[in-house]
Amino acid sequence: MIPRSWLCAPAFHAKLLDKAIEASADIALIDLEDSIPADRKADARATLVDHFREPAGVPVAVRINSLATTDGLKDLLFVLDHAIVPSVILLAKANLPAEAALATALFRERACPAIEVFAIIETVSSLWSLRTLTATPPGLSGLVFGAADFAADLGVPPTVTDLRFVKQEIALAARRFGVAAIDSPCFQLRDRAELDLETQDARRLGFAGKIAIHPDQVPLINERFAPSPQAVDDARELIAASERDRASAIQRIGDRMIGPPFLKYARQVLSSAAPVRRR
C-alpha cells in the first residue's frame, strides 16, 4: 500500500523514527534539503548512519538535495557508499526523466533495486519536465508536490496562492504513468480545519497521501486517505454481487446500475484499505 502520511523532519531530529511510530505515520521522512543550513549538510549526512544503525520499525524515506547541485550528488553518493537502504529516496526539484533514471541506475549498480524513487515537483522547470514526458521514467514510483517552493518560484505568497492547477497536473501525470501522487504539507500547524480542507481536496484530485510536518497532523491524514468503513462495505457488496452473477456485466443493486467502472473502483477501495506494510 502507498504510504498515506509521511512525517517529515530534519536529519538532525534524533527522535523522528520514534515520533513516526508514536503518531502512527506510515513513513518517516528524513530531510537533507531545505531544513538543513548550507554549512551543515555534511553533518546532516553523517546522521543518516545513526538513523539506519538498527531496524527502524517504520519505513524510512530520505529527501536529498537537487541532483543538479553538488550537495545532491554528495547526498546520493553518501547513501550508496554507506550502504544506507531507505524505502524511498525523494529527489528535490527534480528534472525528469534524467534524474530519476540516474538514481535508479546507481541503485541497481549497487544492488539496491528495492529503493523507490519519488520526484518532487516544486519548480516551474520540474513541472515543465513532467509535462514533456512520453513514458514513465525508469524506476520512478511517485510524484510529490512541493507547494512552498513552487509558489516561491512563481513569485507568489506560498500560503495564500491557489496552486490547485499544479496539483491537478501532478495527479493526472501520476495516474497516466501508474505512480503515486503525494501532496505538499499543510503549513498551518494548529489549524485542523485547514489541514482537513487540504487533505480532502487532495484526495478528491487523486492524491494517495500527504506530507506531515507535525505528529499531530498524522491521524487526520491517515483517516482522510483511508476509505471509510461504509465505502469498504459497499465495495465488498458490489464485488460479491458481481461474483454471484457472472453472466451479466451490468447489474442492479438497489437503486443503482452497476457496471465495470464501479467494480474497478471497488477493487481500488479494498486495496487502499489494506494495512501499510511495516519493516
How far is residue 211 from each of residues 66, 67, 104, 178, 191, measured CA to CA in Å?
19, 21, 23, 20, 15
Q: Which domains does the chain have, with CATH numbers?
A: 5-224 (3.20.20.60), 229-272 (no CATH)
Residue 135 has what pLDDT? 94
Up-side HSE of residue 170: CA atoms within 13 Å toward CB? Answer: 32
Report the C-alpha gap between 260 and 244 in whole angstroms.
Answer: 15
Amino acid sitting at position 180: A
Residue 127 has what pLDDT? 97
Residue 275 has what pLDDT? 57
- Supply angle C-alpha 260, 261, 264, rounded to 5: 85
Residue 279 has what pLDDT? 45
Residue 206 has what pLDDT? 94
Residue 239 has what pLDDT? 74
The structure's pTM equals 0.87
Residue 224 has what pLDDT? 94
According to DSSP H, which parts of 91-163 are helical? 98-109, 124-131, 147-154
Q: Which residues of the chain have pLDDT under 50?
A: 278-279
